[in-house]
Amino acid sequence: MDRNLLLTLRYNGAYFHGSAVQKNAVTVCGTLQPALERIVGEKILIKCCSRTDAGVHAEMFCLSFHTKSSIEPQRLVLALNNSLPEALAAYACREVPPGFHARYSCLGKRYLYKIHNSPVKNPFLIDLCCHHRYPLDVERLNRACQDFLGRHDFSAFCASGSDVADRVRTITDCSLRREGELVSFEVAGDGFLYNMVRIMVGTLLKMSYGRIAPDAIPEILRARERKNAGPTAPAAGLYLKEVYYDLPDPEN
């Protein structure tokens, strides 16, 4: 009997050249696939919730695959963690309806961007945060974040060269918060363009220098020109935090 399984992972992006399989690089799926195929005993086709770039982390990354294996989902998680490297961990596995697809069934995602805001770099945050040495007025920048909320064409916040046609996305939550030296940018929405979160952060950082006006975001969105937004912030601060699906409660 063929089952469709949804697997949830967590990984440290510093150890991978992104999530998608590549011929000559260590990637998340390139590491996961052979381990998974050894356990289920057959070739499988993995569908991922999205792609992440080299250096980008995931607190939650989802993928689905069909398998003839009858392995119990909890056992699959244990077996995977016995063979995966420390930088990649399986957290949960459950059966989902046959038509479920980790990418096409996804209703939305939440990203977190971590900024270490301090004059001196912290040796224990290497690869885990973006370091920003100049003071950040978090309250003011958080007000600017509110301009991202709602349904907009995010062409200005998409890496040039991306060939996605529909660039309209809906942002449901967007905020900047400080906890000591850690400044966290969080954004949730129904979908994200290539480099969109990193360009949003780069825009806020440029705003903090006074080189983008505090009220400029609505106009940048309207003009749909990549060059009006800020630079792409480094990969190391970015975490895929949650992936949303409409699924019945798991049976156990």
Size of the site for a copy of itself (CB under 8 A): 20
Q: Is 224 left (phi over 0), alpha (psi -120 to 50) or beta?
A: left
50, 109 contact by CB (below 8 A): yes
194 labelled as ligand-binding? no
Instruction: State in angstroms the smallest separation of the CB of 233 from a copy of itself.
Output: 17
Instruction: State in angstroms the smallest separation of the CB of 128 from a copy of itself.
Output: 6
Q: Does 2 bind a copy of itself (CB under 8 A)?
A: no
Active site residues: 53
Pick the closer one to a copy of itself by CB: 1 or 120: 120
d(CA 43, CA 83): 17
* CA-closest candidate to residue 40, choices 65, 11, 62: 65
Q: Does 11 bind a copy of itself (CB under 8 A)?
A: yes
d(CA 100, CA 106): 9
Q: Does 79 bind a copy of itself (CB under 8 A)?
A: no
Q: Which stretch binds a copy of itself (CB under 8 A): 118-126, 155-163, 182-190, 219-227?
A: 118-126
Other residues' Cβ atoms within 10 Å of the Cβ of residue 192: 22
Pick the closer one to a copy of itself by CB: 122 or 160: 122
168: helix, strand or coil = strand
CA distance from start to end of the chain = 20
Pick the closer one to a copy of itself by CB: 16 or 148: 16
Footprint of a copy of itself (CB under 8 A) = 10-12, 15, 57, 81, 86-91, 120-124, 126, 128, 131
